[in-house]
Amino acid sequence: MSAHKNNAVPLSRISSENSSPGTIIWSIVAQVFLSIVIGVVMAVVANGFIEGARWIAGLSTGGSRFILPIAGFELKMDLFLSLGLAAILILGVRRVLGITAWSGPAESIFAVQQSKRPLDIKLGIGSTMAAFISASGGASVGQYGPLVHCGATFAELVRKYVPIALDSRLFIACGVAGAISAGFNAPIAGVLFAQEALLRRFSIGNVAPIAMTSFVAYAVNQTFFDLSLMFTLPDMPIELSELFPFLTIVAVLSSITAIFYMSALRGMRQLTTQSGLSFPKLMAITVLIVGLIGALLPEVAGLGNQQINQIINGQFALGFLVILLIAKVAVTVLCLNTGFFGGVFGPALFVGAALGGICAHLAVMAGLEPSMSSALSVAAMAAVGASVIGAPLTVIMIVIELTGSYSYGLSAMLCVILCSILTLRFFGLSYFDRQLLDKGIDMRLGNEHIEMSQIQVSEIESSEFLRLSPAMAVAECQQAMADARVTEAYVCDDAGRMVGKIDIHSLGAAGALESILDREPTQLSPDETLVDAMNRASTFVGESIPVIDDGRLVGALTEGDIFNRVLEIQDSLRRA
């Protein structure tokens, strides 16, 4: 066996300790150039995605063209038709690209936390296309999750085809920051999200290219695209003493709502998997149900940005908000688990705003000044959104950048943090982390553990070991072990299959080799992971652990071999 070697030094790891000034300058120039390229491309892609989906969706919602009168009701059939067309196009994307499952932010997060399994570029492109079609067709999906994954996919594309050694993790984070910056018009939130949700660590070496990408994406927006605020809010005085008790209650209710929303998404996914229904049948059922709900309640279809603004500004009655909240969760859960694809963050903002609107009505009844009630809607919207994506600092900054109001950001902060803590305790850090956990990837163990779980035993460099024949006499074995200066040896037949293991102490009192063979020693297989090897070594007593492949002895690992590989990974992550 031999260890996998990679002699290319990523740009992010070049330091003054091991590189000449010319090399350092070249690395900085290359990083800046690629950051600019990624920022420009993501600004164009993000704006094309958002504005394109909004324009196409507006064609079917701007005025009802197809009305079906039934029992005195006028059912608007536009959503049926747009969803049906979207379903057909999505089926075409799946068939043409050979895709069986979509990928999103969870896969981007996993790609950043390990180096063995890069993002699938074709799958990323197909998923972005499906998300655009879904959003354009009026499905209740978000647009920002797909943009995040699109940014990560483009960064992976750059890393793959640019002939420079790049740290793929860092440039995936750059792509994501550019997408957030351009999609939300929130450059600071883009930097925070890349650090908080993807890399999950802060360092000046990482911040520099990420900030450059986010800055460039926003600058392109500022020059060529619309920079209007997403949410228009009434002015609000900062009266935290009056808001504090209401924000605390809203935080608890937001956590309950976020957990219900994420649990419903996971439950429906399990239900559709167990149903045995084909993909086209599931989509047809969704078109029928969501189309019917949308005909009666068009506010829950599509991206919902306009409705969020109306909720925050108090334009809906209390009873109607309750209906909106329940219906939005229902249609989103259906759309995201039966073939349509998109993000979970946009619908989470809608659900949170609806909850906040309900709380605002009740708070005013309890004596809160009406001029401050909109703060509860914004706080609940931010709290539910932050709990779903696991990035509280990012969402607080998004509130400030999207509303242009420090007052709303400050009032949202308490609600977001408290809600995130409660959700972490009772559900997990985020919906994305829970998606990965459902696949057997536990992000709570850290990127070091994830990296080690990707290293197979076959990739660990093996120490030399002594192989003996079962036909050898005891004295010959003793001499061979003395010459090799080992205390253990492996007895193998002519085909290389291990018969057993012996040690020098037992050999001294043996009359025959057969009588002292350990036929079932602690062993490893080549496809086990470094984590498995560590766990086995933690309870192992001896000189080395044999590596057995289909009965054949292919190597032997000492505790030193295993832990040296662990130290290499730790050193690599530390330098990164």
How much is the mean pLDDT over the chain? 87
Q: Is the model's pLDDT at 524 over the cut of 60?
A: yes
Q: What is the pLDDT of residue 504?
A: 87
- 19-28, 68-77, 563-572 — most confident range: 563-572
- 91-95, 201-205, 370-374 — most confident range: 91-95
Tokens of 497: 């299959």
* Cα distances (angstroms) measured from residue 2 to each of 461, 495, 554: 4, 22, 11
Q: What is the pLDDT of residue 361?
A: 96
- Confidence class for position 110, pLDDT limits 50, 70, 90: very high
Sign (positive/negative) of CA torsion 137, 142, 143, 145? negative
Q: Is the model's pLDDT at 62 over the cut of 80?
A: no
* Separation CA 191–CA 505 (nearest Å): 61
Nearest Cα neighbor of 262 from 513, 433, 130 is: 433
Q: What is the pLDDT of residue 65?
A: 55
Tokens of 51: 């504005």
Give this prediction's pTM: 0.84
* Separation CA 455–CA 445 (nearest Å): 16
Question: Looking at residues 157-164, what average pLDDT do you find?
Answer: 79
- Confidence class for position 80, pLDDT limits 50, 70, 90: confident
Using DSSP, state whether 507 is helix, strand or coil. Answer: helix
- Confidence class for position 488, pLDDT limits 50, 70, 90: very high
- Confidence class for position 440, pLDDT limits 50, 70, 90: confident
pLDDT tens, residue by residue, 363-415: 999 989 888 889 999 999 999 999 999 999 999 999 988 887 888 888 899 99
Nearest Cα neighbor of 554 from 453, 454, 459, 451 is: 459
* Separation CA 570–CA 576 (nearest Å): 10
Per DSSP bridges, beta strands 488-492 and 467-468 are parallel
Tell me the one-letter amino acid at 350.
Answer: F
Q: Is the model's pLDDT at 465 over the cut of 50?
A: yes
Q: What is the pLDDT of residue 350?
A: 96
* Separation CA 30–CA 551 (nearest Å): 50
Q: What is the pLDDT of residue 187?
A: 93
Q: What is the pLDDT of residue 68?
A: 58
Q: What is the pLDDT of residue 109?
A: 92
Question: Looking at residues 82-110, what average pLDDT do you find?
Answer: 92
Q: Per DSSP, which regions of 527-576 are E strands? A: 545-549, 552-557
**Contact assessment for residue 144 and residue 342, using Cβ atoms and an 8 Å cutoff:** no
- Confidence class for position 4, pLDDT limits 50, 70, 90: very low
Q: What are the b/e assignments for 379-418, b being 16+ CB within 10 Å?
A: bbbbbbbbbbbbbbbbbbbbbbbbbebebbbbbbbbbbbb
Q: Which domains are seen in the chain, by residue range?
A: 11-230 (1.10.3080.10), 240-447 (1.10.3080.10), 456-575 (3.10.580.10)
Which of 94-103, 209-218, 505-514 bottoms out in mean pLDDT, i.e. has the lowest? 505-514
**Contact assessment for residue 117 and residue 454, using Cβ atoms and an 8 Å cutoff:** yes
Q: What is the pLDDT of residue 2?
A: 35
